[in-house]
Amino acid sequence: DSGVTQTPKHLITATGQRVTLRCSPRSGDLSVYWYQQSLDQGLQFLIQYYNGEERAKGNILERFSAQQFPDLHSELNLSSLELGDSALYFCASSVGITGGQPQHFGDGTRLSIL
Amino acid sequence: SQQGEEDPQALSIQEGENATMNCSYKTSINNLQWYRQNSGRGLVHLILIRSNEREKHSGRLRVTLDTSKKSSSLLITASRAADTASYFCATDARMDSSYKLIFGSGTRLLVRP
């Protein structure tokens, strides 16, 4: 058990809709990362937060946004969903923001767009 | 874009055999990590090797790093059916005021009982 909790595990919705994915990091970790994993794109970094502040942004679409709350849990909001957004979305956490730190992953949210 | 490329893409071996996976990367690194992903689950950190290290061991895992060739290998000795999973290498990339991990495309390992 990584200590990282993601909800929901599965999400099925339609194109054009908006969903919110939630992540609770491992106790003591201040950094939260979001990743998208799809068959054709592999594991792609989306965004990182550290202690409530956005610290790094990757290949995140403008339709997607995230935030980290004072209790350190994080939410990833996906709007105007398209078929191509179907993927596994992972949250990971680490203690800090320096390089060379292991990241601890949740089991992901599988998003299916119909 | 992927920083690391794993080779082979897929590997099938018999239980008890050794499994070797390779990772090549493009830019200079400070460290390299290996992760395992069981089907439908999140990634699990296996081992981290720093750029000034050439070899590191953890249980049945042995990782080597050759910075001159920009490559790393993961050896799993005496494999078990439970080792069946995808294995990814990952390198740090400085981004904005932090670091992000860039993952390779992964090696799918099947260990046959």
- Could you tell me which chain A residue has the CA closest to the CA of B38? A107
What percent of chain B is modeled with pLDDT above 90?
A: 77
pLDDT per position as a tens digit, A16-40: 999 999 999 999 999 999 999 998 7
Cα dihedral value A95, B43, B105, B50, nearest 10: 40
Q: Tell me whether residues B92 and A45 touch, CB distance under 8 A.
A: no
Residues forming a β-bridge with A94: A31
Q: Tell me whether residues B92 and A99 touch, CB distance under 8 A.
A: yes
- Could you tell me which chain A residue has the CA closest to the CA of B33? A102
Q: How close, in Å, is residue B78 to chain A by CA atoms?
A: 24
| pLDDT of A84 higher than 70 | yes
pLDDT score, position A40: 79
Q: Tell me whether residues A55 and B97 touch, CB distance under 8 A.
A: yes
What are the angstrom distances between the C-alpha of B85 and each of A49, A80, B12? 29, 34, 11
| pLDDT of B4 higher than 80 | no
